[in-house]
Structure 1
């Protein structure tokens, strides 16, 4: 199932670029001082290769990180050099801590002041929900706010186990350069391929991205090679729903060059087109995923349609998707529209491979509607708790008398009514739209 595969892929990429994760142990109602004195905290630094650890408790080093009353991890500035690398340095002047990041002469400055909730990033004031503090001779900074402002991806994992009873905050390694690849030609010609980069921060502004545009990736790689070994390079493939594709071997060549050059890498995509909410009643990720597939096939939303319409969508992990839309006519017949895609929607493939139409007689239409009634389609649960890797998803939508219903399944089994509806549509495609 693509949803689960996506999660596994993200976890794989994150594991290979993660720099630090900090389990923190604290009573829910404890004060900062009690947490600091009574709880062990430890830091593990994973560089994607060695997986080495720096354990404060094991080395009996104090002070320790702790969670304050606002749920923020407070980190001793004393250990800054053990955690923040990648061209970062800090300075303390009275009660103000100033952290400077320098990546290829692009400077980012973050300042925080003890007992103040204002963080200043490159002159811009940002209001935090907590403050840096001093306990004895030790200064503690709010790790999330500082790390996020420096460009680290920060998230909180609520692990509750004997190993991590208090949860864990972690942030990924700072990405030094963001590389972009896209196609200027709608017909996806190799001559239209362009490459660019931004330093320190990812951009969705094409005018900013195109400022460094080149038709030769070696121009971008020359900039990457100015980075120290082990730096992180994130590649983004930019594409359109209809055309402007980037061949997979081009993307693969970029990621191989990054890896073989001794750098860590990651991959993301960015669609130039606004994806309409064709599906809007499942989870956010699933809504966007299915909507992109259906938009690439030129399909409309059904939930606000008039009349009686049904749509079966077959959305696989790797091969060609297809949709079958049946619109019931007043005379008891039906119009059928069939579309298949040229691979899954994305930067390397997508779009309509085949589009055909056909008619259902009154008898054929009645057979279809009887099947839906027999399987109690309108009362079928929207989703069931069944996940798997790869395979395919089916989406069965219906709208009648202003009422909309959607059924989503991964590889339906025979004990599910969706299985028999799927088989009906598969047989309908073979009969009405043979290869």
Structure 2
């Protein structure tokens, strides 16, 4: 699927709307997919570190595909049979018929099809568990300080820190598990360890069932299995991509938190702590408004393409106008109707872009001003307020990681839409 086809799946009205603030009388852009998390005022208020942390946590993508599952419900999810493995699914029926046609001495009977479907379901469950296992293993590595391999990644912070992902902390809170600073690591480790043990037991169970099925199946071949696996892998691509994206975010979150802890190891005073918080929040606003602007630009470019012209849209068909018998009057009204429709769409697109660009420019201007002030203060402030070269570098690295994380999320947003409609 190319870029234009991807844009075809995006509804411009479901991405960006314009709202006027009641008290501040200013324009803000709101994403309809999550109005609480992406609402960004044109002026950035002073934020505490937890505000930035909440923003980074809330900036997540919902792909609305059937493979999306709650982390703690994977065991229940694999018991459900996806639609693409149902008896009546046309794609599945075609795949089974293809398997039968290329396999010698394989009878085209309902019994054969039923057995092949059972094998396909077991392959699906095994794949889901293996994919999910990689996510939970990453959670464990993060908490045990084994996520970063020093020889492969050049970082100016400790790489053996025990940083438990926010997702795990949220699950523990939801389960109302009591803990304190002395047993925190133990609770997190036991919880993830139990989940991995559960997944491992299920994997062994399904692998045993799978081996039993193929050993009793007359005419089973490796080529037959490869066809089934390819079909399932194609349908699991969105789920695999979602899990890989979550793993990427765990790495970003680990780095961002590790850089903060390393910065605090330098014993910054209160002014220096607030400086780091302000710059990181400013970077967050600057990057997210840029990504929103770029995404909106892609969508508008698509809607302005020839394949989305007035003649190609449903708007061009008006029952009222078509009911007019006089061809001259009908054509004249149609021309007027087209002119109004095209101009209205152009006006709303221009309004979207103007508002998005205004926010992007303002946030960029603020971040640049904050960085300029930082450089100025480094040369004019008292020694007590100046940052050491290491502290300066840690702030810069943390801002870069925050920007990388946001770009990662928006790349995933576009990819997930493409995969969903491929």
Whether these two folds match at TM > 0.5 is no
Whose helix fraction is larger, Structure 1's or Structure 2's?
2
Using CA pairs below 8 Å that are at least 6 residues apart, which structure has the higher relative contact order? 2
Whose strand fraction is larger, Structure 1's or Structure 2's?
1
Q: Provide the TM-score with structure 1 as the length reference.
A: 0.21
Q: Provide the TM-score with structure 2 as the length reference.
A: 0.21
